[in-house]
Amino acid sequence: MTNRFDRGLETLKQYVTEEEAAKLVDYDALAITAPDLRKMIVEFAYGDIYSREGLDVKSRALVVITSVVTQGAAPQTKTHIKRGLHAGLSQREIVEALLQLIPYIGFPRVQNALLIAQEVFGE
Amino acid sequence: MTNRFDRGLETLKQYVTEEEAAKLVDYDALAITAPDLRKMIVEFAYGDIYSREGLDVKSRALVVITSVVTQGAAPQTKTHIKRGLHAGLSQREIVEALLQLIPYIGFPRVQNALLIAQEVFGE
Amino acid sequence: MTNRFDRGLETLKQYVTEEEAAKLVDYDALAITAPDLRKMIVEFAYGDIYSREGLDVKSRALVVITSVVTQGAAPQTKTHIKRGLHAGLSQREIVEALLQLIPYIGFPRVQNALLIAQEVFGE
Amino acid sequence: MTNRFDRGLETLKQYVTEEEAAKLVDYDALAITAPDLRKMIVEFAYGDIYSREGLDVKSRALVVITSVVTQGAAPQTKTHIKRGLHAGLSQREIVEALLQLIPYIGFPRVQNALLIAQEVFGE
Amino acid sequence: MTNRFDRGLETLKQYVTEEEAAKLVDYDALAITAPDLRKMIVEFAYGDIYSREGLDVKSRALVVITSVVTQGAAPQTKTHIKRGLHAGLSQREIVEALLQLIPYIGFPRVQNALLIAQEVFGE
Amino acid sequence: MTNRFDRGLETLKQYVTEEEAAKLVDYDALAITAPDLRKMIVEFAYGDIYSREGLDVKSRALVVITSVVTQGAAPQTKTHIKRGLHAGLSQREIVEALLQLIPYIGFPRVQNALLIAQEVFGE
């Protein structure tokens, strides 16, 4: 385990529960096919990028939610809305961020994302 | 002029200088071809959406910058980085938001956006 | 209910059955999370945009189908093919419009859309 | 020259002037690098697809304009607005089709396309 | 059956098993709605494009996998990973090609594609 | 300078001339605004990803060209066609890869990329 991995894991815990972080370390869905992917996500995405200073945790979560919704990526929309809530965004802030996207990406992708958000909020 | 237009114009002033707001009212680049577009942008985008409560001005600017960069829309990237600065985002926050996008959209669009940001910062 | 909402609802009825229009008024899947979304869709999308003059109902439906298929948005493809049929597009016109997209977006998204169209036609 | 090429060229003339059609035959910007591309565009796009029955010329032009605008492809937006006018779409119909896209792709790409349309209309 | 169709079918057999090729000829999922689509795919995609010289079979498969993954098209990702294996790409080469995309499209679409690849490899 | 940076720089030299590699080290267009970006590109993109085994240099170049063309990213298309030539791809292989994309992304983006390729080949 490198320092970048440790720093990444520490940063990740701002976005997921202890339980989920532990699960991410113990179990890798791509362990056979691409065991390096998880390492890269923790080291690069969380260790190098998310852990930077100059932008607070909630704003980083907002940026990521916005980007995956703009791309229309449904599985990531669910994941990052969950992480955004854990990072301190309120349900209201997430809903407002999604509505704010209407003039920039149109209704369809916003509507799909709001249905996902509603499902996450209900869990 | 409707109430929605007035409210939109008022909201817009949180994102542009007085001078730019006045220019937007006086001059419409699409006055001949689509005179309703400007009205819709002010009434709907600013009057109905940006003016909502529940998410602060800086976060709304961050959401919009993120979305146009994710779409790779160069002219809008320039416009909304300017508006983000006016809305109170620091140069550092904008740069960090763009770097935060690397794991989600890759280097090319982030690099293009940073070159635009640097140009805006230099003005 | 505003005039824009009334006009939107009236316009919407050119694209859906009376029954579906009534259902859209009575039931809102996002009533808890984002109750304003439906209002915006009816007021802005249908009341302000679809209800404009200068382009006939069938052509508007064709434009919308084309855009959601180009974006690869599956749920909206189904919705708007249904609305296009109600607006007067023939099955043949819809199929031809989808085939016309092949040189501009390639086979994969067209094939996905045709499978959805076939499913809608069979209902 | 195959029959498909002849049919394609004949169909193309519904979308461009005689002069432009002649120029397309005489001069190929990619003659050195990819001489087969023009042949494929004429044979496949125009000979096989545009020349099909079941959807009128104006509607095909509308579908193509919508798709390239949704993709944010600026050079093709210019080309196909020109061809749409030649195919019989009025300036008003093109403007309305672009405004109709706002609820589905947002303001930025529509605004960019309207500026291109205005430029073409002015020529 | 044209020469282009025959050539296309012959080329297709480099990417699918005899059994799958036979099935593609015998059964057309879109036989009722768009019977010409399959003909176009075989004639144009396989007969005109895939059958060209100047790029080997494995590289063509790699190009196609890369494009559909970049577009985030899940059904085509599965189809073309299968065809790539049949064309001679190793599992390792496919995994490496997907990881190579991370700096250009980000983690989400790569992760989704790797999960699909793992599923195909397991079959 | 880390080991990852050194390895990245060494790998990069398979894709650019000595002169260009030296220039990339000496001059950073984003030195003021985002000095970490270049470091990340060299360390992560080239040091961690491009330098992996299991896929040859030419195939990696092909994957990257395909992805940026599919995204319609013009500046990156130029950069990576140059790097592909340096990595050993022939002009013919690049042209064939671009034509191979027609059935998957349509003519417009392929045509734009071929014009860029032709310009690079002429230099």
For the packed helices B107-122 and B91-100, what is the interaxial angle rounded to 10 degrees?
Answer: 170
Structure tokens belonging to residue E59: 């590289």
Pick the residue from chain D with its C-alpha nearest to B71. D72
| Mean pLDDT (whole number) for C88-107 | 98
> For testing the chain D interface, which of B12, B37, B83, B112 should be mutated: the one with the most D CBs within 10 Å?
B37
Q: Which residues contact A79 (CB under 8 A, 6 or more apart)?
A: none
Q: Does A108 touch chain C (CB under 8 A)?
A: yes
Q: Which amino acid is it at A52?
A: R
| E34 interfacial to chain D (CB closer than 8 Å) | no
Q: Where in chain B are the domains?
A: 1-52, 55-123
% pLDDT > 70, chain C: 98
Q: What's the pLDDT at D58?
A: 98
Average pLDDT, chain C: 94
Query: pLDDT at residue E98 above 90?
Result: yes
Cα E32 to Cα C28, C86, C110, E28: the distances in Å are: 36, 21, 16, 9
Which residues fall within 8 angstroms of residue F119, CB to CB, at 6 or more apart?
Answer: F78
pLDDT of residue D25: 80
Which tops the pLDDT comparison, C51 or B25?
C51
Average pLDDT of the residues of chain E: 94
Q: Does domain F55-123 bear CATH number 3.40.50.300?
A: no
Test A106 with D106 for CB contact under 8 angstroms: yes
What is the predicted pLDDT for the residue at C43?
A: 96
Buried b (16+ CB within 10 A) or exposed e, F103-115: bbbbbbbbbbbbb
- Residues E50-66: what's their mean pLDDT? 98
**Interchain CB contact of A118 with C (< 8 Å):** yes
Does pLDDT of A7 surpass 90? yes
Q: What is the pLDDT of residue D1?
A: 53
Q: Mind giving me the DSSP string for C27-74? A: --TTTTT-HHHHHHIIIIIIIIIIT-SSS-HHHHHHHHHHHHHHTT-H
Chain E residues with CB under 8 Å of C98 CB are 34
Q: How far apart are CA B64 and CA E44, in angstroms?
A: 41
Chain F residues touching A48 at Cβ < 8 A: 40, 44
Mean pLDDT across the stretch C59-88?
Answer: 95
Using the predicted structure, report yes or no on whether residue B1 has a pLDDT greater than 80. no
Nearest CA to CA, how far is A80 from chain E (Å)? Answer: 11
Rg (CA), chain B: 15
Q: List subunits contacting chain D, requiring 3 or more Cβ pairs under 8 Å.
A: A, B, C, E, F
Cβ pair B75:D112 closer than 8 A: yes
- According to the model, what pLDDT value does residue E26 have? 84
Using a CB–CB cutoff of 8 Å, tell me whether A66 touches chain B.
Answer: yes
Q: Which of A84-88, D97-101, F33-37 has the lowest mean pLDDT?
A: F33-37
Whether chain A has a CB inside 8 Å of the CB on B55: the answer is yes
The pLDDT assigned to E79 comes to: 95
Give the alpha-carbon dihedral of A93, C47, C97, E22, to 10 degrees.
40
Mean pLDDT value across residues B105-114: 94
Give the separation between CA F101 and CA F85, rounded to whole angstroms.
Answer: 19
Which segment of A54-63, B69-78, C76-85 scores lowest on mean pLDDT? B69-78
Q: Which of A93-107, C20-34, C70-84 has the lowest mean pLDDT?
A: C20-34
Question: How far is residue A36's CA from residue E110's CA, in Å, rounded to a whole number?
Answer: 12
Chains touching chain F through at least 3 C-beta pairs below 8 angstroms are A, B, C, D, E
With 90 as the cut, is the pLDDT of residue A75 above it? no
Q: Which residues of C touch B44 (CB under 8 A)?
A: 44, 48
Confidence of residue D27 (pLDDT cuts 50, 70, 90): confident
Per-residue pLDDT of chain F (123 residues; tens, 9 = 90+): 569 999 999 999 999 999 988 888 888 889 899 999 999 999 999 999 999 999 999 999 999 999 999 998 888 999 999 999 999 999 999 999 999 999 999 999 999 999 999 999 998
